[in-house]
Amino acid sequence: METVDLTMPLDEGTPTYPDDPDTEVKDTATVDDDGYAVKRLAFGSHVGTHIDAPAHMIEGGRTLDDYPPESFVGEAVVVDVRGQEVIETDLSCLAEDTEILLFRTGHSEGYGQRYHDGFPVVSEETANEVVGSEIGILGIDSPSPDEPPYPVHEMLLSNGVLLLENLTNLGAVTGESFRCCALPLKIVDGDGAPCRVAGVVD
């Protein structure tokens, strides 16, 4: 069994979505000065590798603390969609027990200053197929599966499909059948939260 990390590192240099809050990671105590180390963390709820709950876009939608942990763990598959500007995928070839679908666009590989420009979008047809399936989480290695006015977010979140954004390292699990764990912080009334995502390959 091998466990693969699919998470972006989180620090002040992690790309934040335009107009989202900046990230702060500051020492408030250090072992050297105080005998123990503590940091103050401040960040937006959609920083780095994170989950979107329905409340992110849907008025009165479910929040993260409203989900049991098993909602964030499941049988996963990576579909390689590198090179597609509009992601169109026939989901009928996926195993029936697929609970977490991850699109590998390649966008987060070597991300930098321009991370929030020019990422591919998921077609509404493909999003509609996801809604009609057993898939509970759609993940992608880019900032978002769509652009304003966010029709894919709206369609998925209003139908109870969670979104997992800013994944990385999906090449390490492409072609594998694996279990994915994407447990977000249990933020009360959370519309989203960072998570550590791991792929567990048999």
Beta strands 38-42; 50-52: pairing state: unpaired
Q: How far is the CB of 166 from Zn ion (least distance, A)?
A: 8
Continuous segment of H or E residues that includes residue 156: helix 151-158
Nearest-CA neighbor of 156 among 101, 80, 89? 101
Find the binder of Zn ion among 6, 23, 48, 52 (CB under 5 A): 52
> What end-to-end distance do the CA atoms of the chain give, in Å?
4
- Please, which residue, 73 or 164, has the CB nearer to Zn ion? 164
SS3 63: coil
Candidates 5-13, 38-46, 63-71, 181-189; binding stretch for Zn ion (CB under 5 A): 38-46
Candidates 21-29, 82-90, 122-130, 158-166; binding stretch for Zn ion (CB under 5 A): 158-166
With contacts defined by CB under 5 A, how many residues of the chain interact with Zn ion? 4
- Please, which residue, 135 or 178, has the CB nearer to Zn ion? 135
Burial 72-96 (b: 16+ CB within 10 A, else e): bbbbbbbbbbeebeebebeeeebee
Find the binder of Zn ion among 46, 104, 107, 153 (CB under 5 A): 46
Which residue in the shown chain puts its C-beta closest to Zn ion?
46
Could you list the residues that contact Zn ion (CB under 5 A)? 46, 52, 165, 192
